[in-house]
C-alpha cells in the first residue's frame, strides 16, 4: 500500500503530507434535505477520512464555511463539515494530525458575520475550535482577502491567536501575489506572525498562480498547498465521454465553466499519454503537480475510497524530463485564454 510522504510547509518546521485531504465535497446520499441540499453520507465520509489517515495522510484541509455537498453554501448549513471532522478527531490521535481550516466567508446574516476583522476572526476561531472539538488549529488560513479590513488589524489578530496557542501557523488562500506581499511586509514591520503558506487554485488547466504568485513563493519560501488539483474531476477523466450521473457537475454549478472545448481536448491528449505510461489520468495530473518545485502539497478531493487510493499512488509516479516536456507541449498547444 502506498503511504504518504512528508514535507515541510514552506520555511516552517511543520511537516505536512505531500497529499493533503480536502473536505469541500464529501460522499453524498441521493436524497435532498429539507433545504434542497444533497445530504452527506456521514458514515462513508468517516470511513474515507479513516482510510486516508491509515494510508499516512497527516493533513486535512477544511473551512468553517464548508457544508460538503453544494455551492454556494446556504448560511443554514455552514460549519457542518467542521462538526463532522470534530467527531472524526475524537476517534483518532488528533495530535498526530495537521488540521487546517479557514475564516473569511459569511457565517451568519449580521454585518460582522464575515471578513477578516478582529471581531469576526475572534468569534470564528472560537466557533471552529468548538465544532472541531480541539484545543488548537494547526494552520489557520484567511480564506480570501477582505478589502474592508486593514491588513494590520487582521495580522495583529492572527498574531494574538498564535500567542494564545489557539492557532499554530497562519496562511492565506485566494490572495493575489501583491496582497500576500503586503501582508508579509506588515508582519515584518510590526514583528507579527507571518503567513507560512498560500492556498491557490492550481492544476494543469488553471495555471494563473505561475504568473505572479509563484515568483513571490520562491522569493519568500512560502509553502503552496494548491486546491482543485484535478480541476474538480476533469483531470481525472470524469467528464470524458459525457457526465457520469453521480459526478460533481450533476449537483454543483462550479464545474460547468470548466467543461470547455479547450479543456476537454487537453484532457483527451493527456489521457492517451497516461495510458501509454501505464498510469491513470488522475495519477499523471497529480504527479505533474508534485513535480512542480513550488508545490508543497496538492489538496485532493475524493468522494470514493477507490479515488483516494488511486490518487495516493500518484506519489509513486516518476515523470522524466521527456514526460514533462511532452505534457508541456500538450498544454502549450492549448494556451489558457
Ligand atoms: N481555498 C479555496 O477557496 C478552495 C476552493 C476549492 C477547494 N479547496 C480545497 O481543496 C480540496 C480539493 O478540491 P477539489 O475537491 O476541487 O479537488 P479535485 O481533486 O480537483 O477534485 C476532486 C473531485 O475529482 C473527482 N476525482 C478525484 N479523484 C478521482 C479519481 N481518482 N478518479 C475519478 N475522479 C476523481 C471526484 O469527483 P466526483 O465526486 O465527481 O467523482 C472528486 O470529488 C477541497 O476539498 C478543499 O479542501 C479550497
Sequential pLDDT tens for the chain (337 residues) = 567 799 999 999 999 999 999 999 999 888 877 777 788 899 999 999 999 999 999 999 999 999 877 666 677 788 999 999 999 999 999 999 999 999 999 999 999 999 999 999 999 999 999 999 999 999 999 999 999 999 999 999 999 999 999 999 999 999 999 999 999 999 999 999 999 999 999 999 999 999 999 999 999 999 999 999 999 999 999 998 877 777 888 878 888 899 999 999 999 999 999 999 999 999 999 999 999 999 999 999 999 999 999 999 999 999 999 999 999 999 999 988 7
Closest CA to ligand 1's atom 48: 227
- pLDDT attached to residue 1: 55
Q: Which of 66, 80, 202, 239 is catalytic?
A: 66
**Cis before 108 (ω within 30):** no
- Ligand 1 center to residue 230 CA distance, Å? 6
Alpha-carbon distances, residue 182 vs 155, 176, 190, 229 (angstroms): 11, 10, 12, 27
Alpha-carbon distances, residue 82 vs 49, 61, 184 (angstroms): 13, 10, 28
Beta-bridge partner residues of 7:
16
Q: What are phi and psi of 201, to 5 degrees?
A: -75, 130
Cα 297 from Cα 286, distance rounded (Å): 10
Beta-bridge partner residues of 227:
201
- pLDDT attached to residue 175: 98
Q: Which atom of ligand 1 is nearest to the CA of 304?
A: 41
Given the candidates 3.40.920.10, 3.40.50.620, 3.50.50.60, 3.20.20.100, the CATH classification of the domain at 6-333 is 3.20.20.100
- pLDDT attached to residue 27: 92
Q: Judge whether 35 and 24 are in contact, CB under 8 Å.
A: no
Cα 239 from Cα 248, distance rounded (Å): 10
pTM of the model: 0.97
Task: Find the residues whose C-beta lies inside 6 A of ligand 1.
Answer: 22-25, 61, 143, 173-174, 199, 227-233, 236, 238, 247-248, 282, 299-303, 307, 310-311
Q: Which atom of ligand 1 is nearest to the CA of 306?
A: 31
The 10 Å CB-count burial string (b at 16+, else e) for 83-93 is ebbbebbeeee
Asked if 239 is an active-site residue, the reply is no
Amino acid at each position: 500500500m502506498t503511504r504518504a510522504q512528508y514535507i515541510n510547509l514552506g520555511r516552517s518546521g511543520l511537516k505536512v503530507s505531500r497529499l493533503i485531504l480536502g473536505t469541500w465535497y464529501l460522499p453524498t446520499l441521493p436524497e435532498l434535505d429539507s433545504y434542497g441540499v444533497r445530504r452527506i453520507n456521514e458514515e462513508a465520509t468517516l470511513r474515507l477520512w479513516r482510510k486516508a489517515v491509515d494510508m499516512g495522510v497527516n493533513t486535512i484541509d477544511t473551512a468553517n464555511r464548508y457544508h460538503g455537498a453544494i455551492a454556494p453554501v446556504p448560511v443554514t448549513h455552514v460549519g457542518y463539515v467542521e462538526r463532522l471532522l470534530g467527531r472524526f478527531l475524537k476517534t483518532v490521535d488528533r495530535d498526530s494530525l495537521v488540521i487546517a481550516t479557514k475564516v473569511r466567508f459569511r457565517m451568519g446574516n449580521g454585518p460582522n458575520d464575515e471578513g477578516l476583522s478582529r471581531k469576526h476572526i475572534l468569534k470564528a476561531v472560537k466557533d471552529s475550535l468548538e465544532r472541531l472539538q480541539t484545543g488548537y488549529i494547526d494552520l489557520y488560513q484567511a480564506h480570501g482577502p477582505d478589502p474592508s479590513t486593514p491588513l494590520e488589524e487582521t495580522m495583529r489578530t492572527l498574531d494574538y491567536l498564535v500567542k494564545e496557542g489557539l492557532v499554530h501557523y497562519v496562511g492565506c488562500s485566494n490572495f493575489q501575489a501583491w496582497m500576500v506581499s503586503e501582508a508579509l511586509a506588515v508582519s515584518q514591520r510590526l514583528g507579527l506572525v507571518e503567513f507560512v503558506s498560500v492556498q491557490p487554485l492550481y492544476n494543469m488547466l488553471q495555471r494563473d498562480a505561475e504568473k505572479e504568485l509563484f515568483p513571490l513563493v520562491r522569493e519568500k519560501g512560502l509553502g503552496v498547498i494548491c486546491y482543485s488539483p484535478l480541476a474538480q474531476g476533469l483531470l481525472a477523466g470524469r467528464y470524458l465521454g459525457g457526465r457520469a450521473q453521480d459526478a460533481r457537475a450533476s449537483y454543483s454549478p462550479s464545474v460547468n465553466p470548466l467543461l470547455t472545448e479547450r479543456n476537454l481536448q487537453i484532457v483527451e491528449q493527456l489521457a492517451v499519454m497516461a495510458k501509454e505510461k501505464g498510469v491513470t489520468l488522475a495519477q499523471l495530473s497529480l504527479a505533474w503537480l508534485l513535480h512542480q518545485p513550488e508545490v508543497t502539497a496538492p489538496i485532493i478531493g475524493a468522494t470514493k475510497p477507490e479515488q483516494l487510493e488511486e490518487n495516493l499512488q500518484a506519489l509513486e509516479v516518476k515523470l522524466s524530463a521527456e514526460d514533462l516536456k511532452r505534457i508541456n507541449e500538450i498544454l502549450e498547444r492549448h494556451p489558457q485564454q
